[in-house]
Amino acid sequence: MRQFAVIGSGPAGFYTVEALAKAYGANAHIDLIDRLPVPYGLIRFGVAPDHQSIKAVSRRYDKVAEEEAVRFVGNVAVGRDVTIAELTTLYDAVVLATGAPNDRPLGIPGEDLPGVVGSAAFVGWYNGHPDFADLDPPLDGAAAAIIGNGNVALDVARILSKTRAEFAGSDIVDHALDALEGSAIRQITLVGRRGPHQIAMTPKELGELGHLEAAVPHAEPGDFPDADADAALDLGVRKSVAHLRDFASPHEDKLKHIEFDFFARPVRIEGETRAERLIVERTSLDPNGNSIGTGETYAIPASLIVSCIGYRTPPIPGVPYDDRGGKFANDHGHIEGGLYCVGWARRGPSGTIGTNRPDGYEVADRIIAAAPPGSEGGKSGSSGLDALLASRQVRPTSFADWRTIEAAEIASAREGAPRSKMVRHDDWLKSLGE
């Protein structure tokens, strides 16, 4: 039997397991290890709670987890419960699919003031990630600023803008829903260094802003080039810019306003004891489309500032790391020896959920080339891991345990919601009788 371990049960991890299971069949055993007692990673904790159709991809992952050759091993943290060196002695190949859960720093004065949070923390808060359940973002001020021009920035703006009724059918966690209902925020400013033609926002997500019950989006007509220039854009960006041009037209006034502030580069955050304003520099584009400062600065009032400028993979002791790229140092997914990486941990935080499928299959192909199906392996794999965890009194969770947790979440859901997420380790384990 060949023995493989995949660390991280998000999309990249599941697609890699799927590829290995297809290639080896009954001739391999694959452990899918996660530090949390529950699976799905980014699907559960990163995808917006009001985008349930995207979360439905987890049903495909369920089929992978239930294959005979696959075992989910939750509640096991690499570095705390077991080391990479130990795993590489137990398994023929170890694949790091740990994603990029850490926020990139803004790198400007004042970013450590209370009220400044990264999108990983803010999204984790309203999605029920245990690391951020106690975040308590300041929603008592009238204004918020969101730094970034990608889909995560749109998610944050939309979540801040929705009424309680608009969250019907979502799995937003109760503590966030209650806090957002009482929010005093009325002005939300999306800050981007470049212009409408350079956004990374997709048409569907942008279009959603135009249909909010209590919020209206607005863009400045003067920020756009001539409409004829839109023809040179690819289809997706052209559709997104069409939404933005519509936002620049007069609309019915509503309680909340979402303002697109293009050509604005954050330079510092000011406040006495907490964030009070974001200072930005007006920018323009050079002939190559790069953002350059003009020297003109102005203030955007904001007591909540959410940074949505990208993510980094956390380093693991003993694993070569690309500090500039914020990912593991690798050659097409191969790190060294029997150690590999996949997904955002391999290529950085780019692409969609579906991008991880070909990525996972490519890395699986490299493993297959090094350990062809039919060849013999002599490592202990699962049995060795179980003995090691037992000696350290670590209680791993199984996929059957997840089904028990899932059933408890569904049973306790508020009316219309698919589930009521548990957000703490103790609650997950208590639901298992621990």
Q: Give residue limits of the domains in the chain.
A: 2-101+313-430, 102-307
Beta strand pairing call for 215-219 and 264-270: unpaired
Q: What pLDDT shows up at residue 372?
A: 86
Residue 307 clears pLDDT 80, i.e. is over it = yes
Residue 125's nearest CA partner among 163, 177, 161 is 177
Helix (H) or strand (E) holding 123: helix 119-127
Q: Residue 354's pLDDT is what?
A: 87
Q: Strands 334-336, 339-341: parallel, antiparallel or unpaired by DSSP? A: antiparallel
The model's pLDDT over 53-98, given as tens digits with 9 standing for 90+, comes to 999 999 999 999 999 999 999 999 999 999 999 999 999 999 999 9
Please say whether the beta carbons of 64 and 70 come within 8 A.
yes
Please report the sign of the dihedral spanned by the C-alpha atoms of residue 105, residue 108, residue 114, residue 115.
Answer: negative
pLDDT tens digit sequence for 124-159: 999 999 999 999 999 999 999 999 999 999 999 999
- Is residue 375's pLDDT more than 90? no
Over the stretch 294-303, which tens digit does the pLDDT of each residue have? 999 999 999 9
Q: What does the pLDDT look like over 195-216, one tens digit per residue?
A: 999 999 999 999 999 999 999 9
- pLDDT at position 229 is 95
Mean pLDDT over 409-423 rounds to 95
Identical fold at 2-101+313-430 and 102-307? no
**Average per-residue pLDDT in the chain?**
95
Question: What is the pLDDT at residue 378?
Answer: 80
Question: Residue 377 pLDDT > 90, yes or no?
Answer: no
- pLDDT of amino acid 376: 75
**Which burial class, exposed, middle or buried, applies to 52 when counting CB atoms under 10 A from its CB (0-12, 13-18, 19+)?**
middle
Judged against a pLDDT cut of 90, whether residue 414 lies above it is answered with: yes
d(CA 254, CA 63): 45
Q: What is the tens place of the pLDDT at every residue in 159-174?
A: 999 999 999 999 999 9
pLDDT at 264 over 90: yes
Judge whether 143 and 305 are in contact, CB under 8 Å. no
In angstroms, rounded to a whole number, what is the distance separating the alpha carbons of residues 354 and 338?
A: 26
Provide CB contacts within 8 A for 234, sequence distance 6+: none
Q: How far apart are CA 217 and CA 189, in angstroms?
A: 10
Over range 262-272, report the average pLDDT.
97
| Region at 306 (left for phi over 0; alpha for psi -120 to 50; beta for the rest) | beta
Q: What pLDDT is stored for residue 132 in this prediction?
A: 96
Report d(CA 87, CA 31) in Å as an integer: 11
Residues 6 or more apart whose Cβ sits within 8 Å of residue 264: 191, 192, 193, 280, 281, 282, 283, 300
Please check the confidence at residue 355 and state whether its pLDDT lies above 80. Answer: yes
Fold of 102-307: FAD/NAD(P)-binding domain (3.50.50)
Going along 235-386, which residue ranges are E strands? 256-261, 264-270, 277-285, 291-301, 304-307, 311-312, 321-322, 327-328, 334-336, 339-341
Q: What is the pLDDT of residue 374?
A: 73
pLDDT interval class at 275 (50, 70, 90): very high
Q: Which CATH class is domain 2-101+313-430?
A: alpha beta
The pLDDT of residue 48 is above 80? yes
How large is the average pLDDT for residues 342-346?
96
The amino acid that residue 91 corresponds to is Y
In contact, 202 and 153? CB cutoff 8 Å: no
pLDDT interval class at 396 (50, 70, 90): very high
pLDDT above 80 (res 256): yes
